[in-house]
Amino acid sequence: MKLKTSYLGLELKSPIIVSSSTLTGNVESIKHCAEAGAGAVVLKSIFEEQILSDIKKEEGYTDIYNSYFEAQEYLTTFMRGNEIDIYVKLIQESKKVVDIPIIASVNCTSKGEWISIAKELQVAGADALELNIAIAAFDRDLNPRDIETEYIDILTEVERNINIPVSVKLGDHFTNISQMAFNLTKAGAKGLVLFNRFYNPDINIEKMNVVPGNSMSTQEENHNTLRWISLLSSQGVPCELSASRGVYTGEDVVKQILAGAKTVQVCSTLYRNGIDHIKQMNADIEAWMERHNFNDVESFRGLANKKEDIKVAERLQYLRRNYDLH
């Protein structure tokens, strides 16, 4: 029980959470994650955009939907409901076979659906909800402040309408991540997941077109997460931090906890090494704890932040910032 911890008010037998992915998209895989020693799982996100895309594809099969509004409306309602029913069933069936927390994940494109789907997932029995908000400033006329406000508004409305704990998965593209983190906690976030990994494009130089890039994180990406877990933890952000992106080994987990993370989320390392790799990661964490005489995870969480050299996390281009904008 050395690895026992908590996150979002939920008890976890390990600080390792399997993040939202196809690894958490079916009951058998979720059961495997639990048996391998995962502390919790975040279900594969339900995307409103994907539902709408599927509806458009279905509409394209026949002209009837273009001719009759009632038929089009029925199709939209049916397919939306069907997709959510599948997700609800995944929550319910998973909870029957595992004893670890099941965290639902949702991404929507319209404000009303954030609330509606969140309510349905709570009723289904989700232990918590992770908001997979992804708004990028691709439009040059879009004010960055409006993007930040949108994040806050979505969280505020969802948190107001459900009772289970809510976390927000953030990207690392904000001008002031620290301020954004504090504003989200004021709006009700019980946890922040750092960081989301967005779709990466590449270019096929033979066909000269844009193609999907590498979808997996690399271990080197762990350093940026480590920086911001350290900074936010040392600044006293009043919510729990979950480190994501680039966490591959038990040693990576230890580093993030020393920096102040409550949990870590893993995905790419399990694609590369298999779900049973969680067992090795847990064993490596326990071995490290034995060597350093720690009896529980909480006893070393944030310990690195108590040392003066945590200021290294603020350094840019090998030199720590030496200016003050105030």
**19: helix, coil or strand?**
coil
Segments of 29-151 assigned E as strands: 40-42, 46-47, 102-107, 128-131
Distances (CA, A) of 32 to 87, 98, 105, 277: 19, 9, 19, 11
pLDDT score, position 293: 97
Q: Which residue has the tokens 């639902």?
A: 104
pLDDT score, position 316: 59
Q: Which string of b and e fits 82-92 if b means at least 16 CB within 10 Å?
A: ebbeebbebbe
pLDDT score, position 201: 86
pLDDT score, position 218: 79
The domain limits of the chain are: 5-320
Provide the residue-wise pLDDT of the chain in tens; the chain has 326 residues.
Answer: 689 999 999 999 999 999 999 999 999 999 999 999 999 999 999 976 555 444 445 444 444 444 433 334 433 444 556 889 999 999 999 999 999 999 999 998 877 889 999 999 999 999 999 999 988 777 888 888 999 999 999 999 999 999 999 999 999 989 899 999 999 999 999 999 999 877 778 899 999 999 887 777 777 788 999 999 999 999 999 999 999 989 999 999 999 999 999 999 999 999 999 999 999 999 999 999 999 999 999 999 999 986 555 566 666 555 555 556 55
Tokens at residue 224, please? 């940026």
Where is 29: in which H helix or E strand? Answer: helix 27-36
CATH topology for 5-320 is: TIM Barrel (3.20.20)
Q: How far apart (Å, rounded) are the C-alpha atoms in residues 43 and 98?
A: 13
pLDDT score, position 65: 42
